[in-house]
Amino acid sequence: MEAPNLSHMHGSINIREIESSEIILLEKFLYDAIFISEGMAKPARSITRKPELAVYIKDFGKSTDYCLVATKKGIPVGAAWSRIFQENEKGFGFVSSGIPELCMSVNQQFRKKGIGTRLLKTLLLHLKKINYHQVSLSVDKKNYAFRMYRKMGFEIVNSDKESATMIKTL
């Protein structure tokens, strides 16, 4: 599914499906997706290899996996992807084995320019087109993306002091 060229934002931004040679980049995007509260130290990059995080990228490319990348001058600057998880190996935003869970990340210098919103909208359109009825995610409540998800129609289905599991009907 070819997405529109977003040339009006921060130079020329294009959104397209990930290429198989770029799947390796998901580890970097997963690391960048980890929310760090102000004043907290960033964890070591190896944190993405912990089983609870590795599930988001391990063996990516299954028939139920889908990923979009935002590129500037051909260089990926953001990604949004979804996976179907099972009860025995699930992500933090797991709701049900029939509901894809999404992850997304935009490189620090490209944030708050609408790129994440465009990635998310395009991913949601794709999921609806292939007959998914809902999508879920987990987000830290202090993360500015939490407000974006609320604005996009995601509703909290479970939460604790720090994070929320959210779901959107497509």
Question: Quick check: 86 pLDDT over 70?
Answer: yes
Residue % of the chain over a pLDDT of 70? 94
Mean pLDDT for the stretch of residues 103-125: 93
Mean pLDDT for the stretch of residues 153-160: 96
Question: Quick check: 36 pLDDT over 90?
Answer: no
Give the H/E segment covering residue 47.
none
Q: How far apart are the first and last CA of the chain?
A: 17
Q: Specify the long-range contacts of residues 130-133, CB closer than 8 Å, at least 24 apart.
A: 132/99, 132/100, 132/170, 133/169, 133/170
> Which tens digit of pLDDT belongs to each residue from 61-84?
999 999 999 999 889 999 999 999
Q: 128: buried, middle or exposed (CB in 10 Å: 19+, 13-18, 0-12)?
A: middle
Domain range list for the chain: 5-169
Confidence grade of residue 5 (pLDDT, cut at 50, 70, 90): very low
Topology, domain 5-169: Aminopeptidase (3.40.630)
Q: Which two tokens stand for residue 168?
A: 């959107």
